[in-house]
Amino acid sequence: MVLSKRKMKQLFAFGVATVLVVCLYKSWGNPTGAKLTLGIGNADAGLLDNEVDRTRYEHHRFDHRLKPDDGEKVVLRNVENNNVLVGAPGDREAHLEELHQAKKQILVLERKIQELEGRIPRRYPDVTFLNYKNRKRILITGGAGFVGSHLVDYLMMQGHEVIVADNFFTGRKRNVEHWLGHENFELIHHDIVNPLFIEVDEIYHLASPASPPHYMYNPVKTIKTNTLGTINMLGLAKRVGAKVLIASTSEVYGDPDVHPQPETYWGHVNPIGPRACYDEGKRVAETLSYAYAKQENVNVRVARIFNTYGPRMHMNDGRVVSNFIIQALQNQSITMYGSGKQTRSFQYVSDLVDGMVALMASNYTQPVNLGNPVERTIEDFAEIIRDSVGCKSKIVELPAVEDDPQRRKPDISRAKKYLNWEPRVPLKEGLIKTIEYFRKELARSNHSQRNIFVPEATDKE
């Protein structure tokens, strides 16, 4: 039986009252029809009618270590007839010990109430109900990360069963904590460099550090995740007949000679540069995908993801969006690496999730660019963020980063043609939500002050 919080509070109050009545009954009998008050004070000091004695009474009540002063007596006053009974001095320790025992029993009741509260089912967003024919069992590797957690939210709200596998290198449990305990959700602490044996219908393979500081921190691990991890996911898809979507990246184009970048462009990548662990790792992941598709008939999809931003980004991931917003919110100088004339195309995370879901549901098997074709310079972007935050931060130029792409803009003709997809969230609208997220993160002083997931209203048109 599940009790409401109100009923448990009533139970607690009743329990406390019962314990105190029992203690008084054991100590001084049962004066029928009388209202009793307990006080500790001098016999000639007016007992509890005096504020000093009331204060001393409260101290004795709540701290059993406090001993009565010499000359004081434990008294019991009958309010009905104003009679006063004075206890023997030798009984004072016994009375205090009984009060101490009552306090211990109250603590036991508090613990039991906490245990009962823990049994109350958590409230979750109202997800769509799907019957067993329409409900899919979906694995998301890296599902506790920035993009993965938003994909989890979308698929959960659609009513599917979602399994997240994450080693929490860059992912965080708090990104998906609002689904913990839900009957359709499962979280597995697992590194996909090792095989995973489960039964699923679809696989979104998102596991990999995606920001330069993270993937450069352990380049060997980054390569293993994008090669061995991809092999394991493709092998799983082969065994269970699942459809698999590989999250590739615009970094496969390197520092491009072709602008904008279509999927037919083969790229311009430095295979031994500081970014190679990620760039070449993703290129090999694509090669593996189509090798499995050709040889083992695995049903694969490849999404080449361009710059994405939104809530749940790491504050220290080294990307321009998070760097600029944090610096602006703290009234620090906004630092650009290079002249600021480099261009990027930024898409909001909900647009990316829509694109990945559309790609998975389609019959198109070639790589597809998912990004925003609106191109902006880094300098312009810094000014937009500064104006959105409303600060007066200076924009400072720092030395350029090695192998930093100078131009980046997707050709999304395939996505429009085969997926009927294109970004819908304007840059400033997405930035307002992202800035608000970071503002709350910076203001946090404890775990309870976290950003709670609230599902956005979906467009039914």
| Active-site residue list | 278
Backbone region of residue 241 per phi and psi (left: phi > 0; alpha: psi in -120 to 50; beta: other values): left
Q: Which letter, b or e, does each residue of 320-330 get, where b requires 16 or more Cβ atoms within 10 Å of its Cβ? A: bbbbbbbbbbe
Q: Which letter, b or e, does each residue of 239-249 get, where b requires 16 or more Cβ atoms within 10 Å of its Cβ? A: eeebbbbbbbb
Instruction: Tell me how long the chain is.
Output: 461
Backbone region of residue 142 per phi and psi (left: phi > 0; alpha: psi in -120 to 50; beta: other values): left
Cβ-proximal residues to 249 (8 Å cutoff; 6+ apart), any chain: 210, 278, 279, 282, 304, 305
| Residues 208, 143: Cα–Cα separation, whole Å | 10
Assess contact for 322 and 438: CB atoms under 8 A: yes
Cβ-proximal residues to 217 (8 Å cutoff; 6+ apart), any chain: 209
3-state DSSP assignment of residue 1: coil
| Residues 191, 181: Cα–Cα separation, whole Å | 22
Assess contact for 171 and 144: CB atoms under 8 A: yes
DSSP 169-224: SS--GGGTGGGTT-TTEEEEE--TTS------SEEEE--S--SHHHHHHSHHHHHH
Structure tokens at 185: 């959700």
3-state DSSP assignment of residue 441: helix
Residue ranges of alpha helices (H) inside 266-407 are 276-296, 320-329, 349-361, 378-389
Q: How many CA atoms lie within 13 A of 331 on its CB side?
A: 2
| Residues 122, 105: Cα–Cα separation, whole Å | 28
**Helices 51-62 and 92-118, packing angle to 10 deg:** 60
Residue 229 CB burial class (10 angstroms; 0-12, 13-18, ≥19): buried
Assess contact for 301 and 245: CB atoms under 8 A: yes
